Structure 1
């Protein structure tokens, strides 16, 4: 099969076309002919940093976590999928799991689901990592009907999905962003847009929660921004963060009695723990998409086999408007 391979790591390391052996469906796995692959921030981090990240695969490496495609072979013990099924998932591209930037991937059947019927392969490939992350964070924080939810970074890959899922759960959603384009996107998703470059935390908390604070703050920005999330949350509220690799003073969280939920969705892949949970979430996301309440925003620029490096650069330089997807058919 054809595959795009890294033979070195670093910001300028090229993706090179190579011929690799076709994968065989091992027990509990299915072979999927890949139609589309999305690029996530964690993919670009692996590309840039290599062995400095403990989850990076050994060289030569095939990256790509998210994918959508068609099942071509079934391994022993698999009963939920059949040859010809259209599926999507997040199942490789780290540690010893070969990625999806290839014609075929041998994927653990617990990490995939039937793709949404209402979405294209391109759209479906954009959803798994960000969708699972958003779903996990919101459910762990107990988002429910009538609650107030603030999504930090509501126009981003994870954030724009979190906005839609939180609204489906019955919450009244606000979301931060910057600039007219992001404000317009957030509003189109049904959330109240808050331009953090123009409004201070205490101002929008006073205006939109009567000074009480939000029941749940979903922080897809993380890092130093977590202090803003603490400030925006109500007493005994919840903060879910997808980027908690930071040294920070937890005193504000202590005096508010906040619950902090750190979401790292790669754990099932890295440690083979709770993998079926991801398959279940993907099934739930597909149902939401087919019911018309969830749709990923995909960047309009198209990329193919020869453009993988350009796709990674497009995400890294901040010019993408939505999820970046590489089509392999």
Structure 2
């Protein structure tokens, strides 16, 4: 089969389209014929050698939408031909999704939302699971208020929607007026990033906060946190001044959604969560993310473009090898 293989760490030039052996499903696994692979920023970090969790196969890609081609022993709930989606690999011992076929742990999968295209479905798993895990750590209840630093990105949009669906009140920041409008269309109260300092000056605080950026965004979240409040962050990979956290007796939650892929623990929860999300997408309670799709031959270009200018929508690689 054809697959994109990371031949070394470095620039996008280390990505090579190669012929590799077809994987075979083992106990508890299924073989997926990939339809689309979702791109995530972690892919560039692994490729560049900044995140030391590269897959042994050299094949990147965490998110997938595809059809089950074969079912291994011990698998229940899936059959050949099922269209599925999930965050299934691309780190350490798990083959990534940037290939014609992938073997995946069936516990990580759910039936793909029928109302979404392959590209839309492939864009959802990592950001949705990250958002859900962060909200679970905050243990929000109906009527709670949460502030999201970066509510217009992939994780932010899904966290906003999941919180609103649970009856929470959400205030979220974004980098442009257009994105603020989008936050409000999803049911939140939107402000510009620059207005967060105004909230601090006014003495406004929140008991529950989610930071989706790290860096200065996390420091702002600490400023906005109320005494005895809690802050979840998806980017704690840096040194931070936690004086404010100490002074306010805050609880800080570091969210690392790839951990179950690395240590094998908690995988059941991912498939179950994605099945619930698929139902919410199909009944209209959640909205899919805006996507931009690329041909499989354009993978190095996608990496270069993201590193040069970022992305205002989820990038997806079609499996048109």
Contact between 2:147 and 2:206, CA under 8 Å: does it hold in 1? yes
Contiguous gaps of at least 5 residues in structure 1:
none
How many residues are aligned here?
Answer: 320
Where does residue 61 of structure 2 map in the other structure?
Answer: 64
Quick check: 1:181 aligned with 2:178?
A: yes
- The counterpart of 2:188, out of the listed 188, 191, 195, is 191
The CA RMSD measured in Å over matched residues stands at 1.7
Distance 1:257 1:169 in 2: 27
Where does residue 250 of structure 1 map in the other structure?
Answer: 242
Contact between 1:311 and 1:325, CA under 8 Å: does it hold in 2? no
Contact between 1:241 and 1:261, CA under 8 Å: does it hold in 2? yes
- The counterpart of 1:241, out of the listed 201, 212, 233, is 233
Contact between 2:3 and 2:19, CA under 8 Å: does it hold in 1? yes
Task: Tell me: CA distance 1:124–1:82, structure 2 relative to 1, closer, same or farther (3 Å).
Answer: same
User: After superposition, what is the alpha-carbon deviation per residue over 1:39-98, rounded to whole angstroms, capped at 9, x for unaligned?
Assistant: 11111101112xx5321124x611111010010100000011100111001111111211
Q: Secondary structure at the match of 1:164?
A: helix
Q: Secondary structure at the match of 1:317?
A: helix
Quick check: 1:204 aligned with 2:199?
A: yes
Give the TM-score normalised by the residue count of structure 2.
0.94
Where does residue 147 of structure 2 map in the other structure?
Answer: 150
Contact between 1:38 and 1:64, CA under 8 Å: does it hold in 2? yes
Contiguous gaps of at least 5 residues in structure 2:
none
Distance 1:46 1:251 in 2: 31
Quick check: 1:81 aligned with 2:78?
A: yes
Contact between 1:205 and 1:214, CA under 8 Å: does it hold in 2? no
Distance 1:53 1:183 in 2: 32
Where does residue 159 of structure 1 map in the other structure?
Answer: 156
User: After superposition, what is the alpha-carbon deviation per residue over 1:113-157, rounded to whole angstroms, capped at 9, x for unaligned?
Assistant: 111122111111011111000001011101221111111111112
Distance 2:60 2:291 in 1: 20
Contact between 1:133 and 1:265, CA under 8 Å: does it hold in 2? yes
Bigger mean CA offset, 248-257 vs 146-155: 248-257
Q: Secondary structure at the match of 2:241?
A: coil
Q: Secondary structure at the match of 1:117?
A: coil
Distance 1:160 1:19 in 2: 37
- The counterpart of 2:95, out of the listed 93, 98, 111, is 98
Distance 1:321 1:184 in 2: 14
Distance 1:26 1:276 in 2: 17
Where does residue 16 of structure 1 map in the other structure?
Answer: 16
